[in-house]
């Protein structure tokens, strides 16, 4: 990472949507306190304020505990009035649009939140004179890799996986269209499966399934997945806001390399047993590769009816290769991930135990 980079967002107004979520809480934490593993990003401006959009009904207490320089705005990205309130009294702000939905109750929510909600937030940012918007996307607009050695990069074509992938593709297209018609600079960040503290119950369930010998391994388990520890993602988001030349571009942000599913499960097992004194079953729920293929067909059928089933959708991806190259972000942003799977899972498990989730 270039030594000359200073943690100066050129504004004291930092705005985060989806702030009460898993990534959102950790990211707001880093905006206030810095990233200790990255010296150049370790000392944020002491006068910066972070304005957080929190969905009605979500608990903002974790955010409030971080600092008295955090302002909470309650609202939904689907509500233009709430989006306008978020930017009231600001000019030249930097927006980090993290809000989105991955596992909805119904398919329509993918498009209402990921596409229309993003459009409304950026329209409000443009009307308020925001300087830059860093928008969180996903690997799903590009789908799955054709083989285990293939890697997505910034030039990979769209081939969205299911409705979530299509909604994120349409979101990216909308962001680019809004950039052409507005003054707000935009940067798109594609993040894969991420992990780390503040995790929701579905991620803790995955750790419990590994401990209890119920983690599904579909096929031989050597399919590869890019993953991103939360602090690596936070680094990418911050750099995307700081780099003058990042406007209008998209970057993949992930750990240094992809991991096989076997490696993920083996690593969690070893840490649980040797470092956290957890009784581990040392078993796997082994399923043939066709199990994911059948789940994909069932998933497509369910979604065609407008419904959504989280466990079937997750199973449909379990034998897929979903891996990316971070070379583009490394070259253009100075991105350098500092945490890999073992240390990241160690921190995740420690957080779960400290918060009585394991």
- Supply the mean pLDDT for the chain: 95
Residue 76, phi then psi, degrees to nearest 5: -120, 135
Report the C-alpha gap between 29 and 67 in whole angstroms.
9
Mean pLDDT across 30-46: 90
190: closest CA among 256, 232, 138, 148?
A: 138
Residue 6: the pLDDT is 55
Residue 48: the pLDDT is 86
pLDDT cut 90: percent of the chain above it: 90
246-303 tens-digit pLDDT? 999 999 999 999 999 999 999 999 999 999 999 999 999 999 999 999 999 999 999 9
32: closest CA among 4, 56, 62?
A: 62
Mean pLDDT across 47-65: 94
307-322 tens-digit pLDDT? 999 999 999 999 999 9
Mean pLDDT across 75-84: 97
Mean pLDDT across 102-124: 97
156-189 tens-digit pLDDT? 999 999 999 999 999 999 999 999 998 999 999 9
Per the CB < 8 A criterion, the answer to whether 206 and 269 are in contact is no
pLDDT higher than 60, residue 3? no
316-351 tens-digit pLDDT? 999 999 999 999 999 999 999 999 999 999 999 999
């Amino acid at each position: 990472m270039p030594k000359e980079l200073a943690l100066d967002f050129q504004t004291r107004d930092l705005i985060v949507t989806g702030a009460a979520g898993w990534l959102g809480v950790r990211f707001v934490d880093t905006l206030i306190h810095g990233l200790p593993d990255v010296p150049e990003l370790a000392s944020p401006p002491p006068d910066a304020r972070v304005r957080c959009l929190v969905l009605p009904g979500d608990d903002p207490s974790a955010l409030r505990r971080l600092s008295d320089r955090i302002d909470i705005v309650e609202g939904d990205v689907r509500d233009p009035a709430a989006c306008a309130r978020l930017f009231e009294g600001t000019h030249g702000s930097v927006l980090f649009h993290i809000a989105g939905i991955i596992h909805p109750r119904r398919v329509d929510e993918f498009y209402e939140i990921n596409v229309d909600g993003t459009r409304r937030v950026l329209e409000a940012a443009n009307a308020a004179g925001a300087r830059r918007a860093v928008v969180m996307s996903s690997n799903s607009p590009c789908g799955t890799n054709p083989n285990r050695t293939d890697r997505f990069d910034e030039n990979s074509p769209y081939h969205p996986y299911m409705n979530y992938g299509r909604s994120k593709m349409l979101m990216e297209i909308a962001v680019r269209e809004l950039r052409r018609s507005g003054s707000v600079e935009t940067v798109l960040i594609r993040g894969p499966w991420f992990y780390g503290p503040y995790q929701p119950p579905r991620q803790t369930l995955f750790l419990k399934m590994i401990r209890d010998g119920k983690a599904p391994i579909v096929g031989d388990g050597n399919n590869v997945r890019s993953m991103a520890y939360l602090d690596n993602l936070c680094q990418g988001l911050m750099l995307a806001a700081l780099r003058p030349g990042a406007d209008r571009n998209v970057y993949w942000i992930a750990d240094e390399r992809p991991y096989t599913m076997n490696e993920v499960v083996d690593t969690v097992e070893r840490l649980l047993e040797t470092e956290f004194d957890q009784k581990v079953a040392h078993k796997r729920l082994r399923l043939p590769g066709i199990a994911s293929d059948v789940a994909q067909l069932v998933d497509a059928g369910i979604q065609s009816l407008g419904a959504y089933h989280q466990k079937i959708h997750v199973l449909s991806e379990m034998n897929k290769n979903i891996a990316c190259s971070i070379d583009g972000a490394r070259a253009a942003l100075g991105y350098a991930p500092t945490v890999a799977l073992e240390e990241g899972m160690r921190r995740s498990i420690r957080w779960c135990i400290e918060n009585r989730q394991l």
